[in-house]
A and B are shown apart, each in its own frame.
Chain A
Amino acid sequence: MFSGAEIMVKCLQEEGVEIVFGYPGAVICPFFDELYKTDIQAVLVRQEQNAAHAASGYARALSRVGVCVATSGPGALNMITGIATAYMDSIPMVAITGQVKSDQLGRDVFQEADITGACESFVKHSYLVKHTADLPRIFKEAFHIAATGRPGPVLIDVPVDVQQGTVEDFVYPDKVNIIGYKPSVSGHPMQVKRALEILNQSERPVIVAGGGVLTSGAKLRFREFVKKTNIPVVSTMMGIGTMPSEDPLYVGMIGSHGKKAANKAIHDSDLIILCGARVGDRAVSAPDQLAETTTIIHIDIDPAEIGKNMKTNIPIVGDMKNVLNQMLQAVEYTAPEEWLRNIQEWKQTMAVPPKSFEGYVEPKSFLQKLSGMMRTKGILIADVGQNQIWCANNYRLSDGRFFTSGGMGTMGYSVPAAVGAKFARPNRDVVAVCGDGSFQMMFNELATIAQNHLNVKIIVMRNTVLGMVHELQDAFYGSRYAVTELEEKPDFQQIAAAYGIASACVSDNEEAERVAAEMLKSDQPFVLVCNVHPHTSSR
């Protein structure tokens, strides 16, 4: 005899889950109680949204499915923002929520919320479990769906009576059989051939590297392809890290917040190869215009992304790694020298030197310096706001990783995601960079960091305003700072101290660099507050 809760835990064990991030409540108690009896670690976060972000950080750092758990009603609802954030960035995740008793469903009882309904547009798939006996199949399917094809979050909503119900046997299915779900793996050979033919005629090709390259685990293959063909690479925000920042062929991030040279490269190109990039509005502002002047090859595992935001000449549906393998086998092309020279020139002439303010930290050059201090394979997690743009354009990485909430732009992502990343990669440097706005959305997670002795470093860019909007107000709203002023309070050092976490507050780059170097040497968590001038621009 096994209870539903026991079955759920056994399913997690079958899937090799070692850790879950969550927050308890009455109707998820049977599950947590069973989990308590096993080796699977349950990390208590301080708000459910952060459970999903932590699972996301974990999933990204290990390329495995992250698991987060919450109770019914408010617990599940709090988690939605985190689930939606993961959905937009194609993060493999299984979210488990407790639900009120099956026979009370639909009666608006205490802490009841239709979470499968509410999450419909933010999940790859969802289940409301009706029978205890269905649990093994549902868990098997959920992990399969979350991790394969274009990854994404899957929600399993389990009423408390289903957790308490019993079944005779536990058999975990070997395979899934979902008739309507068979993601394509390899690119169509004819399309690959056509793509290479078009490439051969190109004089000014550019590759746009998106998050899909990293998600597919194709980074090395991608670099090999670039090296062989000499095609310049720009990246989306999610694609940062596909190329080493210092590689001469890497131009930088594209888009409204990207590098001028990178935007110039795509606008002057005659061929764009989109690799696992969905052409979001922040990356390409006028895709239709661009599509008229250049040829587009779009490689993506999700056919729905091809042609959605930009017209495509050659669509290739398939896993990035496989398609790159197919292309590498046959490609015999080298980008013309002249095109490369132009790009090198733009890179140098179009770079904007950062402007510094006396008595403040200049974040862009600081982040450039920080890159060199972190050990190889370090993970930098940027929050959302100006700090995100500073990091995206200035943090330089070669073998490390850069995580951020790219699609949803969820403030408060960085620290909880860093918690997850640190659990995943305890031996790597994990640094979260946030603003004073985003920090105040999630500094409750300092408690999780302290409780678990996590060596997470947090850099707070404190400019006393909500910088991104502040900048927008300067540009478009006559510098009327409607609800964007944060005040100098609270004292973040006192907050860090309240959690028993060491901290420092710095007001110039030299000091910032010195403290950062020390901070990275220690094996303790640390909060580094950098005073930044409110008019430091994101560009």
Chain B
Amino acid sequence: MKYTLSVLVENHPGVLSKVSGLFSRRGFNIDSLAVGITEDSNISRITIVADGDEYVIEQLEKQLNKVIPVIKVRTFRQDEFISRELSLIKVNCPAKQRLDIMKIAELMEARIVDVSLNTMTLQFADTLERFETLIDLLKPYGIREIVRTGTVAIEKDSAVSRKQ
């Protein structure tokens, strides 16, 4: 099962290696890891998507909490968060296929950010599921390159307030 963890850390040099080193060392599998500073420039947020069972995730949380510059670890439940991932997808696109791919882009709400004689590059920011749909649609044209940022996630206040 996939879990999304949100980790607040002090924004010091070396913190990322302390956190990422933990994964390989303790044998945790991660799908993605995204880092960026938060509203407070002294604090960064690391969003991790990890694969594992409850035991693995509990261990992961505990081990992360032991890293001194880690301030807070939070594992999101299924319906509690909004997640997005930014990706850039370069797809084969000779002139005669331009319209097809433009239609797919329009349909999926991807932006076309570059067009050349033989390729088109799309920018896409959405959930993991939608990303997979887009890739399925583009595959027949030949995907040359995909660049992804990894998932970032934020708590969904509407879901939280409904519960209360």
Contacts and interface: CB of A to CB of B under 8 A. Distances in A.
B8 to A, nearest CB: 8
Contacts of B18: 120
B29 interface: no
B10 interface: yes
Given A125-B68, A181-B68, A120 B17 contact: yes
B14 A180 contact: no
Most chain-B CB neighbours within 10 Å: which of A126, A128, A180? Answer: A180
Contacts of B69: 178, 180
Contact of A304 (B21, B65, B68): B65
A400 to B, nearest CB: 32
Contact of A121 (B10, B21, B55, B71): B21
Interface string A51-66: 0000000000000000
A180 B71 contact: yes
Contacts of B21: 120-121
Interface in B58-106: 58-59, 62-63, 65-72
Interface string B40-71: 00000000000000010011001101111111
A308 B66 contact: no
Contact of B70 (A126, A180, A302): A180
A199 interface: no
A117 to B, nearest CB: 7
B25 interface: yes
Contacts of A128: 13-14
B9 A180 contact: yes
Interface string A124-139: 1110101000000000
Given A116-B14, A117-B17, A120-B18, A180 B68 contact: yes
Nearest to B71: A180
A179 interface: yes
Contacts of B66: 302, 304
A251 to B, nearest CB: 31
Most chain-B CB neighbours within 10 Å: which of A116, A130, A302, A304? Answer: A304
B68 A308 contact: no
Interface in B1-46: 9-10, 13-14, 17-18, 21, 25
A124 B63 CA distance: 11
A116 B14 CA distance: 9
Given A120-B17, A120-B21, A121-B25, A180 B72 contact: yes
Interface residues of A, number: 19
Interface in A76-127: 116-117, 120-121, 124-126
Given A180-B68, A302-B66, A308 B14 contact: no
Most chain-B CB neighbours within 10 Å: which of A128, A302, A303? Answer: A303
A304 B9 contact: no
A307 interface: yes
A145 interface: yes
A354 B114 CA distance: 81
B70 to A, nearest CB: 5
A145 B59 contact: no
B68 A124 contact: yes
B62 A303 contact: yes
Most chain-A CB neighbours within 10 Å: which of B55, B68, B69? Answer: B68
A178 B59 contact: no
B150 to A, nearest CB: 22
Nearest to B67: A180
Contacts of B55: 307
Nearest to A306: B62
Contacts of A307: 55, 58-59
Contacts of A179: 10, 71
Contacts of B13: 128, 130
Nearest to A305: B62
Interface in A388-438: none
A126 B13 CA distance: 11
Contact of A178 (B25, B63, B65, B68): B68
B59 A304 contact: yes
B57 to A, nearest CB: 12
Contacts of B10: 179-180
B87 to A, nearest CB: 31
A181 B71 CA distance: 8
A302 B59 CA distance: 12
A121 B58 CA distance: 19
A302 B14 CA distance: 23
Nearest to B8: A180
A145 B62 contact: no
Nearest to A116: B14
Nearest to A127: B14
Nearest to B69: A180
Nearest to A154: B68
A97 B68 CA distance: 20
A145 B72 CA distance: 18
Contacts of B17: 117, 120
Nearest to A125: B68
A107 B10 CA distance: 27
Given A179-B10, A180-B9, A180-B10, A303 B65 contact: yes
A284 to B, nearest CB: 17
Contacts of A117: 17
Nearest to A303: B62
Interface in A297-342: 302-304, 307-308
Most chain-A CB neighbours within 10 Å: which of B25, B62, B66, B71? Answer: B66
Contacts of A302: 66
A79 B67 CA distance: 22
Given A181-B68, A307-B58, 6 more contacts: A121-B21, A124-B68, A178-B68, A303-B62, A308-B59, A308-B62
14 contacts: A116-B14, A117-B17, A120-B21, A125-B68, A145-B68, A179-B10, A179-B71, A180-B67, A180-B72, A303-B62, A303-B65, A304-B62, A304-B65, A308-B59
* Pairs A-B, 7 closest by C-beta atoms: A304-B62, A180-B71, A125-B68, A180-B70, A179-B71, A121-B25, A181-B68
